[in-house]
């Protein structure tokens, strides 16, 4: 028997169906609420609103759980690669060895971008933020590489093309912004190793591949590959609901990720550490300011909108952080401050009682800095990692039999009807 809840409005009783997810989470189906009652719900930020049914990612903020297609993030980070995890997200199952090899071949075959695109990159002002460039260039991909047809093989080719070319474009934009020679992808390197080589190789100083650093990048991207219905993923679904091409939908996700409250958080961590360094590296003062409710200062990289306990990704990224820092040939004052800040905050009762633990952004900002990634590229790195999640969410929404174009309602609070006053009478 279908479970329902009763809603009483103005003395009238209405029964609304209850939808139960595979992990036991419950949702009240209000699709007919306005039609039957004349009421709508009011939920700024949609924190209590389910916009879709999804089989991609499960997270439980109270218990600190994150799973992709049922697989715990801890297991994927330990045993998987970013390419394999991307296949899992996009197809729902782990690939066989043959399938994984085929994906690697496709990624290599599609890694080059049209030479004319370099002219686009060079046309942007030097001060342009990489996220604005990336969003524009992903939209431009539609002109160079037409949309997929209906055949499943062509759909997968489009997905892999995006996954491969966005990585190449990100490295290319970095090289061009510095006036350096563009480094092309190599057939003999893995996805992550290729990216690092395209970023840091040069004719005068060949880049040496360090497998520990490659592994750190793999884990960074695995941890960021999807995160349920966050701001950027919701943007991809909302824009995609208009049946736009996938390039436009992904471009919208990149733009949404740009903000400091979402993808820009890891960049904000480094900027915060820079500010602390400018104040004589006084970590204790920063902690006291963060505890003062009347002080607008906030410790970036602590706490999380959804996780009310420890962010499961943070523990994994912390381990990678220690490995990356051990590889550094010289000390970094910002990273030294980060370590002190972590140590002080983890012992302070205020942070412990408030569940303000370091989150994945705190450690990922440090890892990216340790890898040599410039700060203004941090959000781009996040975008590359989130790409398979966006693609998977877009495809799931397009294939959803309950698909409807997104069209939220509002509660109007403006003026009631009034007559127009001619300008000479005002």
Q: ∠ at Cα 424 (420, 426), nearest 5°? A: 60
Residue 425: count other Cβ atoms within 10 Å of its Cβ. 5
The SS3 of residue 60 is strand
Q: Are 121 and 173 in contact (CB under 8 A)?
A: yes
Exactly one of 304, 311, 348, 399 is catalytic; name it: 304
Distance between alpha carbon 345 and the CA centroid of its chain, in Å?
26
Residue 51 backbone dihedrals phi, psi, to 5 degrees = -90, -10
**Active-site residue flag, 311:** no
The answer to whether 219 touches 230, Cβ cutoff 8 Å, is: no
Identify whether the C-beta of residue 405 lies closer than 8 Å to the C-beta of residue 102. Answer: no
From the candidates 295, 361, 399, 400, give the one annotated as an active-site residue. Answer: 361
Active-site residue 402, yes or no?
A: no
Confirm if 65 and 251 have CB atoms less than 8 A apart: no
CA dihedral defined by 140, 406, 70, 395, rounded to 10 degrees? -40
Q: Decide the pairing of beta strands 26-28 and 57-60.
A: unpaired
SS3 for 280?
A: coil
Inter-residue contact 236 to 250 (CB < 8 Å): yes
Strand-by-strand arrangement of the 71-72 sheet? 57-60, 65-68, 71-72
Rounded CA-CA distance 336/66 in Å is 30
CB 347 within 8 A of CB 104: no
Distance between CA 121 and CA 126 in Å, rounded?
Answer: 10
Dihedral in degrees, nearest 10, Cα atoms 394, 384, 312, 100: 80
| Ranges of H-type helices in 258-377 | 265-278, 283-291, 312-327, 333-347, 349-353, 360-371
Residues involved in catalysis: 304, 361
């Amino acid at each position: 028997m279908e479970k329902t809840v009763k809603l009483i409005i103005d003395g009238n009783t209405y029964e609304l169906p209850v939808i139960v997810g595979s992990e036991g989470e419950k949702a009240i189906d209000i699709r007919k609420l306005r039609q039957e009652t004349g009421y709508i719900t009011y939920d700024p930020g949609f924190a209590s609103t389910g916009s879709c049914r999804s089989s991609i990612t499960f997270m439980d903020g109270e218990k600190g759980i994150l799973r992709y297609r049922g697989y715990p993030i801890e297991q994927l980070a330990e045993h998987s690669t970013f390419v394999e995890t991307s296949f899992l997200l996009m197809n729902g199952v782990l690939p066989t060895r043959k399938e994984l090899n085929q994906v690697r071949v496709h990624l290599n075959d599609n890694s080059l971008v049209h030479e004319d695109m370099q002219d686009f990159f060079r046309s942007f002002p030097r001060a342009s933020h990489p996220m604005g460039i990336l969003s524009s260039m992903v939209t431009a991909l539609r002109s160079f590489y037409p949309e997929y047809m209906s055949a499943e093989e062509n759909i997968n080719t489009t997905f892999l093309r995006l996954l491969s070319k966005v990585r190449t474009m990100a490295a290319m934009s970095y090289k061009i912004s510095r006036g350096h020679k563009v480094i092309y992808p190599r057939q003999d390197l893995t996805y992550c190793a290729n990216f690092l080589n395209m970023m840091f190789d040069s004719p005068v100083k060949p880049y040496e591949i360090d497998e520990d650093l490659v592994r750190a990048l793999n884990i960074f991207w695995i941890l960021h590959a999807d995160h349920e219905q966050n701001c950027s993923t919701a943007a991809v679904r909302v824009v995609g609901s208009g049946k736009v091409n996938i390039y436009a939908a992904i471009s919208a996700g990149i733009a949404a990720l740009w903000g400091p409250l979402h993808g820009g958080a890891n960049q904000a961590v480094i900027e915060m550490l820079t500010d602390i360094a400018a104040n004589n590296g006084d970590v204790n003062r920063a902690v006291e300011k963060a505890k003062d409710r009347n002080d607008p200062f906030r410790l970036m990289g602590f706490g999380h909108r959804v996780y009310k306990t420890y962010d499961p990704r943070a523990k994994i990224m912390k381990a990678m952080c220690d490995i990356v820092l051990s590889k550094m040939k010289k000390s970094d004052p910002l990273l030294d401050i980060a370590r002190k800040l972590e140590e002080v905050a983890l012992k302070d009762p205020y942070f412990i009682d408030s569940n303000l633990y370091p989150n994945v952004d705190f450690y990922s900002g440090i890892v990216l800095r340790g890898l040599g990634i410039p700060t203004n590229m941090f959000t781009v790195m996040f975008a590359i990692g989130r790409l398979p999640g966006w693609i998977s969410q877009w495809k799931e929404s397009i294939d959803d039999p309950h698909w409807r174009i997104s069209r939220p309602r509002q509660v109007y609070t403006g003026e009631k009807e009034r007559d127009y006053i001619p300008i000479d009478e005002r």
